[in-house]
Amino acid sequence: MKKNRRPNNKISGHFSKRDFVCRCGHCNSAIKISLGLIGGLEMLRALSGNRVNIIQGYMCPDAAEKLGSLKRNYYTMGVAADITIDNVPVIDVFRMAHQVPEFRGIGLNLDKQCVHVDTRKAPDAVVWVEEHNHLVTVDDTNRHRYIPDPIPVPSADFFSDTSDE
Ligand SMILES: [Zn+2]
């Protein structure tokens, strides 16, 4: 007999509220999360055909204050997440994130080996690479250094290529 002790946490086909709870360990599990962000993450799930892992979702204001970074405000607003994707190198997650129109902030974090995505209100996507705790803004002049290959376009091959045989 199945007994549901938890409320239904599902917020979309592949994501649950518990994926996004603040990691500080001191606040309760109430979260803010934007449906636009979830929609973008679902698109990444579809593009990659792999599980999208939420490394950091919502962040409570206390946890953000301790970090003292302006960027972190997007987490407290519920419009940002740090992610990895199973079986996909972090650089390809970064490239793939450019295909999602909802994502207006895209950051490759080489220290943490994850990708930041957010749905901030900005006319053009803000893109950066973070390494050794140093942020480099990526624009047309240096984009080739970080994204040497074209952005992958999903195809039948892309979705079905699951073996190395
Ligand atoms: Zn917290």
CATH code where residue 109 lies: 3.30.1380.10
Domain total for the chain? 1
Ion ligand 1 contact residues with beta carbon within 5 A: 22, 24, 27, 60, 63
**Coil/strand/helix, residue 84:** strand
The answer to whether position 35 is within a domain reads yes
161 CA to middle of ligand 1, Å? 40
Largest interatomic CA distance in the chain = 61
The answer to whether position 5 is within a domain reads no
32 CA to middle of ligand 1, Å? 12
The answer to whether position 102 is within a domain reads yes
The tokens for 108 are: 């490759």
Spatial contact of 25 and 1, defined as CB atoms under 8 Å apart: no
Q: Residue 37 is part of which domain span?
A: 17-147
The answer to whether position 12 is within a domain reads no
Spatial contact of 26 and 62, defined as CB atoms under 8 Å apart: yes
136 CA to middle of ligand 1, Å? 28
pTM, entire model: 0.83
Q: What are phi and psi of 39, to 5 degrees?
A: -60, -40
The answer to whether position 24 is within a domain reads yes
Question: How much is the pLDDT for 5?
Answer: 53
Residues of the chain with pLDDT under 70: 1-8, 69-72, 149-165
149 CA to middle of ligand 1, Å? 38
The answer to whether position 111 is within a domain reads yes
pLDDT of 66-111, one tens digit each? 887 655 589 999 999 999 999 999 999 999 999 999 999 999 999 9
